[in-house]
């Protein structure tokens, strides 16, 4: 490019090779090669294989038969598979509650409370415990006559009135969702808190001088500043709740009507060796997650508007109008 343009047109290969442009590409390619290779080998190739498998009737080993779209038809026709998506609704409800709680606690901590770091650490701690261990903790927590039952009887509840937390189909999904809320609230809170820290504290002072109470400060200062983090967390929790796996798998093994989509997928793939069907399920789930994510993005763009965008839009409109006027004059 700039450094070697003296006798353009007659460059030897060596000169070309030494030129800055080529060298720059070389450096870029060399540095990108390893990560791209890893990405390709461990993400895209397996994914392409999965798409391919979803059109076959196959086991892990043994012959494969091409069956076209039959697996996809089965995903939508079988009540156990499609019904399991409704179990995810519980987890979505849990996700919303979890974000609200996290936002609440994070806001409390932004306004200087006593023992802030202890609270923060205690709330964040569950996230550090591995999901399988959390499952086992709660398996015993909910078991008949164990932790939860004991606590409730201590507070004077009649043991005969305590429901079977994991067996009663009216409440067992709530029990499971509660474990995942318990686990992730702290992590969401820390994320929110991190974003809130970047808000200039002078703004709170200025706002309170103008007579804004804490709610106003939250609504008009904090919320707009951390909007992108809220959206991100919501997207992550909704897609996470569609793919909820650990609590039902460890605690109830997906029985008693608690089987989420992933648990059913795991069962079909590993117990019945219906790999093709499980791959089709995975792809259907991917599509559902994409749809959910896009829908949320759109929702936040149009429905959950903090007003600032209107201003800037209005400003753009005004400028355009002015330009028109000038042009017209």
Could you list the residues that contact another protein (CB under 8 A)?
59-62, 139-140, 142-144, 146, 164, 166-167, 169, 172, 252-253, 255-257, 267-268, 270-274
**DSSP structural state of residue 58:** -
Minimum CB–partner distance for residue 20 and another protein (Å): 17
d(CA 316, CA 298): 21
Q: Are 87 and 258 in contact (CB under 8 A)?
A: yes
Nearer to another protein by Cβ, of 122 and 272: the residue is 272
Nearer to another protein by Cβ, of 47 and 140: the residue is 140
Minimum CB–partner distance for residue 282 and another protein (Å): 18
Minimum CB–partner distance for residue 6 and another protein (Å): 23
Nearer to another protein by Cβ, of 132 and 290: the residue is 132
Q: Angle at which helices 79-110 and 172-197 pack, to 10 degrees?
A: 40
d(CA 284, CA 56): 15
* CA 181-230-216 angle, 5° bins: 105
Minimum CB–partner distance for residue 289 and another protein (Å): 25
Minimum CB–partner distance for residue 11 and another protein (Å): 22
d(CA 178, CA 199): 31
Nearer to another protein by Cβ, of 23 and 253: the residue is 253
Q: What is the dihedral of CA 148, 95, 236, 172, to 10 degrees?
A: 50
E-state strands within the chain: 56-57, 65-66
Radius of gyration of the chain measured on its C-alpha atoms: 28
Nearer to another protein by Cβ, of 15 and 255: the residue is 255
Question: What's the number of CA atoms in the CB half-sphere (13 Å) around residue 113?
Answer: 12
Nearer to another protein by Cβ, of 102 and 166: the residue is 166
Nearer to another protein by Cβ, of 122 and 169: the residue is 169
Minimum CB–partner distance for residue 272 and another protein (Å): 5
Q: Are 237 and 98 in contact (CB under 8 A)?
A: yes
Minimum CB–partner distance for residue 243 and another protein (Å): 20
């Amino acid at each position: 490019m700039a450094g070697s343009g003296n006798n353009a047109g007659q460059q030897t290969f060596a000169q070309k090779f030494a030129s800055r442009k080529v060298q720059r590409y070389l450096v870029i390619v060399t540095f990108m090669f390893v990560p791209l290779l890893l990405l390709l080998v461990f993400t895209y190739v397996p994914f392409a294989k999965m798409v391919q498998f979803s059109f076959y009737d196959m086991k892990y080993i043994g012959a494969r038969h091409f069956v076209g779209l039959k697996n996809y038809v089965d995903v939508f026709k079988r009540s156990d598979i499609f019904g399991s998506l409704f179990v995810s609704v519980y987890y979505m409800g849990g996700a919303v509650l979890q974000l609200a709680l996290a936002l609440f606690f994070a806001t409390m901590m932004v306004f200087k409370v006593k023992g802030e770091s202890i609270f923060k650490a205690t709330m964040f701690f569950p996230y550090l415990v591995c999901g399988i261990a959390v499952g086992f903790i709660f398996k015993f927590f909910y078991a008949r006559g164990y932790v939860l039952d004991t606590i409730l009887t201590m507070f004077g509840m009649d043991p005969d009135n305590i429901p079977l937390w994991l067996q009663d189909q009216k409440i067992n999904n709530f029990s499971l969702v509660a474990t995942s809320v318990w686990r992730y609230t702290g992590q969401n809170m820390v994320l929110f808190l991190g974003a809130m820290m970047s808000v200039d504290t002078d703004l709170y002072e200025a706002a309170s001088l103008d007579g804004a109470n804490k709610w106003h400060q939250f609504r008009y200062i904090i919320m707009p500043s951390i909007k992108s983090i809220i959206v991100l967390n919501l997207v992550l929790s909704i897609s996470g709740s569609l793919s909820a796996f650990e609590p039902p798998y460890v605690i109830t093994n997906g029985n008693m009507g608690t089987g989420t989509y992933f648990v059913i997928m795991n069962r079909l793939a590993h117990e019945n060796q219906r790999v093709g069907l499980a791959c089709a399920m995975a792809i259907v789930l991917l599509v559902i997650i994409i749809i959910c994510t896009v829908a949320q993005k759109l929702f936040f763009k149009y429905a959950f508007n903090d007003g600032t965008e209107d201003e800037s839009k209005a400003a753009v409109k005004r400028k355009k109008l002015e330009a028109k006027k000038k042009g017209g004059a």
